Amino acid sequence: MSLRLGDTAPDFEAETTEGTINFHDWIGDGWAVLFSHPADFTPVCTTELGETAKLKEQFAKRNCKVIAVSVDSVEDHKAWVGDIDETQGCAVNFPIIGDTDRHVSETYDMLHPGEGDTSTVRSVFVIDANKKIRMTLTYPKSAGRNFDEILRVIDSIQLTDGYKVATPVNWKDGEDVIIVPSLSDEEAKEHFPDGWKTLKPYLRVTKQPNR
């Protein structure tokens, strides 16, 4: 059965490039991004892991760890990271799970039927501090992911968890947000004393409240 938003992220124990981990213990009291890449020593994956390493401080600002997984072995991962450092200009600074028995990949439904092999597609799971799945993305093997988008969604979720707002199309941190329709105007006055602009009764735009 496929995992859905709001489900508890399945726990597992695995060998990684940074030693054995229990996933929930490794997450701790923060957030996590678990993402799969099809295979080591492949071009698109090399660029993706390099970019993720460069964004380590950005993820840390959001109290978020990152961890990668593929069906290759830990030994292969360790051999590959030198190529990532050489070609992308950044050393891998997060663990990569060795999943040769496909336990993690199958648990998280990362294997794509009909692709002609057993490698994972490009799946992403954003997991909050309560170990709940808050966002999922799945890209085909041929398309590299946009990790800035993953950070943007984390910003949105963390903001909307704390305030009665939603974020509009293409929103970025610091831009105006939308007051949730379930909040009456009278209630909104308590939450947004600086006011808002009403475009429609259901579309009220206000400044980002934590700015």
CATH number at residue 196: 3.30.1020.10
pLDDT value at residue 37? 92
Give the number of domains in the chain: 2
Do 92 and 32 share a domain, yes or no? yes
pLDDT value at residue 141? 84
Do 78 and 122 share a domain, yes or no? yes
- 139 is in which domain, residue-wise? 13-145
Q: Is residue 151 part of a domain?
A: no
pLDDT value at residue 117? 60
Q: Is residue 185 part of a domain?
A: yes
Q: Which carries the bigger pLDDT value, residue 9 or residue 115?
A: 9
Supply the Cα-derived Rg of the chain in whole angstroms.
19
Kind plus residue range of the DSSP H or E element containing 102: none
The three-state secondary structure class of 142 is coil
Beta pairing, strands 165-166 & 177-179: antiparallel
CA distance linking residue 133 with residue 117, whole number of Å: 27
Do 31 and 129 share a domain, yes or no? yes
The three-state secondary structure class of 90 is coil
pLDDT value at residue 112? 73
pLDDT value at residue 1? 52
Look up the pTM and report it: 0.93
Kind plus residue range of the DSSP H or E element containing 167: none
Q: Is residue 79 part of a domain?
A: yes
Do 101 and 33 share a domain, yes or no? yes
Angle at 137 between CA 20 and CA 73, to 5 degrees: 30
Of the residues 32, 33, 45, 154, which is catalytic? 45
Do 104 and 172 share a domain, yes or no? no
pLDDT value at residue 120? 77
Sign of CA pseudo-dihedral 153, 28, 106, 100: positive
pLDDT value at residue 142? 85
Do 175 and 129 share a domain, yes or no? no
Task: Identify which of 188, 181, 144, 152 has the alpha carbon closest to the alpha carbon of residue 169.
Answer: 152
Q: What percent of the chain has pLDDT over 90?
A: 88
pLDDT in tens, 74-126: 999 999 999 999 999 999 999 999 999 999 999 999 887 665 566 777 999 99
Tokens at 17, concatenated: 């490039």
Q: For this structure, is 64 an active site residue? A: no
Last residue of a domain, one of 145, 180, 198: 145
Tokens at 25, concatenated: 């213990």
